[in-house]
Amino acid sequence: MKSLIAEKFHHVYGRSPEIVAYAPGRIEFIGNHTDYNGGTVLGAALDRGVWVAIAGRADGRRQFASDQRGAPVEVRAEDMAKRAGATSWVNYPLGVLAAMPGFGAKAPAGFDFLAMSNLPAGAGLSSSAAIELASALAFLEMAGERPPREIVVKIGKHAENNFVGVPCGILDQGVSGFGQKNRLVWIDCRGPVFETVPLPADAHFWIFNTHTKHALVDGLYAERHRECMAAAQALGVGLLVETDAAAVERDQARLTPEAFKRAKHIVDEIARVAESRSALARGDLAAVGRLLTASHRSSQFLFENSTAELDFLVDVLTATEHVFGARLTGGGFGGAVMAMTNGAFGEAQVQAVVAAYRARFGAAPDVLHTQTGDGATLL
């Protein structure tokens, strides 16, 4: 892929790139919306993602291009305003540039930039974190900086929170940054602390992308964030990780019905992350699968960030042979379902699921069979 993006870069800019970086997309394995509540989460870096190629310019001009967009977008160094419409994708690398000085790194002045992705759009696989981390590695390298991986991850999160405007936690950037093949990334979001957990060899991931709306910036994600913060305040804690299921039940009268459901989902989900880690250590994929499906039901009925399409897919998949469990992955409100299966799950099962979905909704989901992959790196 390095040679391919170099070829595309030359086609756009008439010269070769000086730096190429890569960062993977991620699957949120389990831990739905727990990260910004200070909880724990498990995620998997994928074997596909975003590549960024850059080359410096002496004239101070900044040009941004993508293999999925039209002509390059020029952004003056003094004009760091957030973009809208067709050029809004530029906000991800712009946000990284805006964040760098706050972490002691000088942002490069002029450059040509090209991003290339093989992640399906709108599937909840965090292409945003992938472009942020690949951009951060490339810009830092151009500036002569090699900070610890934790700092690179924090730069990406700062860009997403403070420039793009999504109040996400550390999950997406942390998994993209610390991923390893054949391992999951466990994050204690209060540190944050990053560890990797072995994934049993017979675990396979299948992504069923519904192409239903998955736009986190349009307010639903932020609304859930506000509801969780309000629930924590009503319960007398800073973050929901500081309470537990028994306390939420005991103090239910302090909460609105909505706040109770949000809080219960979060404290139960944090418990499911711990149970999943224990089951993975035992190699008990059947137990992990049950926890994945329970996570989805909690998202469906308590956090209410699922959709009819996602619920239908989980219903069909969990009734299908060779499936351990299934759940929505990512922020929700559309997007994709992840199924964890054994190696016997294959084309026959996929086509049965697709046919059922088409009969119900009149369109077929895109299906992606993916494996774990390594985290962000310079190439």
Q: For strands 111-117 and 62-66, give the pairing.
A: parallel
Which has the closest alpha carbon to 143: 178, 177, 111? 111
374, 41, 195, 2: CA torsion to nearest 10 = 10
Burial of 42 (0-12, 13-18, 19+ CB in 10 A): buried
* Residue 29 DSSP SS3: strand
258 phi/psi in degrees, rounded to 5:
-65, -45
The dihedrals phi and psi of 242, each to the nearest 5 degrees, come to -80, 0
| Residue whose entry in the numeric block shows the structure tokens 């490069």 | 108
- Cα three-residue angle 45-48-51, rounded to 5 degrees: 110
Count CB neighbours of 266 within 10 A. Answer: 31
Handedness of CA 218, 221, 226, 230 (dihedral sign): positive
What are the angstrom distances between the C-alpha of 326 and each of 135, 204, 257, 294? 32, 12, 27, 9
187 to 10, 67, 155, 261, 267: CA distances (angstroms): 39, 32, 17, 24, 16
Can you say whether the dihedral through the CA atoms of 322, 323, 324, 330 is positive or negative?
positive
Label residue 321 exposed, middle or buried (CB < 10 Å: 0-12, 13-18, 19+): exposed
Dist. CA 199–CA 219, nearest whole Å: 35
Q: Which amino acid is at 67?
A: D
Return the active site residues: 172
Give the C-alpha separation, 78 to 56, whole Å.
Answer: 17
